[in-house]
Structure 1
Amino acid sequence: MSQANVTLFTVTAVLILDNDSHRILTNYYQPPHPYPHNQYANPYPTIKEQRTFEKGLFDKTHKQGTDIILFDNHVVVYKEIVDVIIYVVGGLNENESMLYQVLLALRDSLEILLKHSMDKRTIIDNYDLVSLAVDETVDDGIILETDPLVVATRVSRPPTYDANVNLDLSEQGLMNAYQFAKGKIAERLKQAL
């Protein structure tokens, strides 16, 4: 009886290329844990191999009417938007519907974050937001979120600071803080022994 390998690792790569096949953003993933027969290892470990894959993929998909192809033993879903192409690459046995959901979530979250201006210049100018959106959607090849509103909210929400924090900087306040820290350190040291 064969045993199925169950894993959350789904996405091999997320690529954003321009209309000349130049990289704008590329993330190749490899699972953090080893799998038998190295089946989920990154098949393109070097920049040269990645560029060869990207060039071949671009040549196969540029100005095509489809959204999904099989290329180099990978399922690839993609969208051409203005002067960029977004690719989500998965293994040969991955569910193309799930990969397509990731692609749509990424595209829609970027449209929200970039205010419906998804061209090369805007993506480069807002590279930090684009990179964070990709990281909030896929992490180490694992799909984290497919709701574009949630992704956009996580990326664009400024950190919250409690404006009502009252610090007692008097001598007594500092002594209280010192005593509290001293007690916590002693407590941790006792736990470690």
Structure 2
Amino acid sequence: MNLTLYAVNAFLILDSSGKRIFTKYYAPPHLKEGEGGVFNSVKEEKTFEKGLFEKTWKTQNDILTYDGKLVVMLTVMDVIFYIVGGMEENEVMLYECLRSIRDALELLFKYVPDKRTLLENYDQLVIVVDETIDDGVILETEPALIAARVTKGPVSEAQAIVSDFKEMGFMNSFQKAREKITERILKGTF
């Protein structure tokens, strides 16, 4: 029986053709190299991913065993999310972790994540995974809390004004612009 907190061996996101979008492999610090299902090279990782994709791309199963590991998968649009754990791990816990990552990404992106969105927002994807799983330990499974910890990059003043105008009606935008211009004229920065 596994009495450690290290539940996750790998987190993978593959596209509909089996190519990597995001992968992260974890090795518990108390195990020696080569133990615990950890791969020693990128070639071994890609071989594992290719075999896993070939086994799962036509299946409707969410939970399966592959290569002596427990694999939980979730298909979303044109990507497949995988979380890999040891055979003794709780599949419900792994599924909840996987679902929370997907839901946190949905909260951040405002819609279901697809390949293009994930690649365009890769920085946020990495932070979401890091806030959920740390060195194989599941830290958080509440999507709202995970999404709240992920912030978007800094926005310039011009971008902020444009987004404010998009959210207002025409008359409100006109009034806001008049106030800003008046304010700048009075400050002498116009």
Hey, what's the Cα distance between the residues in 2 that align with 1:20 and 1:109?
24
The residue type paired with residue 80 of structure 2 is: I
Matches within 5 A, 1:1-193: 5-34=2-31, 39-40=35-36, 42=38, 44-156=39-151
Local SS of the residue matching 2:72: strand
Post-superposition, which runs of at least 4 consecutive aligned residues in structure 1 deviate over 6 A?
none
Hey, what's the Cα distance between the residues in 2 that align with 1:52 and 1:27?
15
Hey, what's the Cα distance between the residues in 2 that align with 1:93 and 1:127?
32
Give the deviation of 1:97 after TM superposition: 0.7
What value does the CA root-mean-square deviation take over the aligned residues? 1.9
The one-character-per-residue Cα deviations of 1:64-90 (angstroms, maximum 9, x if unpaired) are 211111000011001111110000000
Does structure 2 retain, via aligned residues, the 8 Å contact 1:31–1:41? no
Give the total of aligned pairs.
154
In the alignment, structure 2 segments of 5+ residues that lack a partner are: 155-190
The residue type paired with residue 25 of structure 1 is: F
| Percent pairwise identity | 50
Local SS of the residue matching 1:26: strand
Hey, what's the Cα distance between the residues in 2 that align with 1:81 and 1:20?
14
Does structure 1 retain, via aligned residues, the 8 Å contact 2:2–2:88? no
Give the deviation of 1:7 after TM superposition: 0.6
Local SS of the residue matching 2:21: strand
| Cα 1:6–1:38 shift into 2, 3 Å | farther
Superposition TM-score, scaled by structure 2 size: 0.76
Local SS of the residue matching 1:8: coil
Give the deviation of 1:115 after TM superposition: 1.3
Hey, what's the Cα distance between the residues in 2 that align with 1:5 and 1:60?
27
Superposition TM-score, scaled by structure 1 size: 0.75
In the alignment, structure 1 segments of 5+ residues that lack a partner are: 160-193
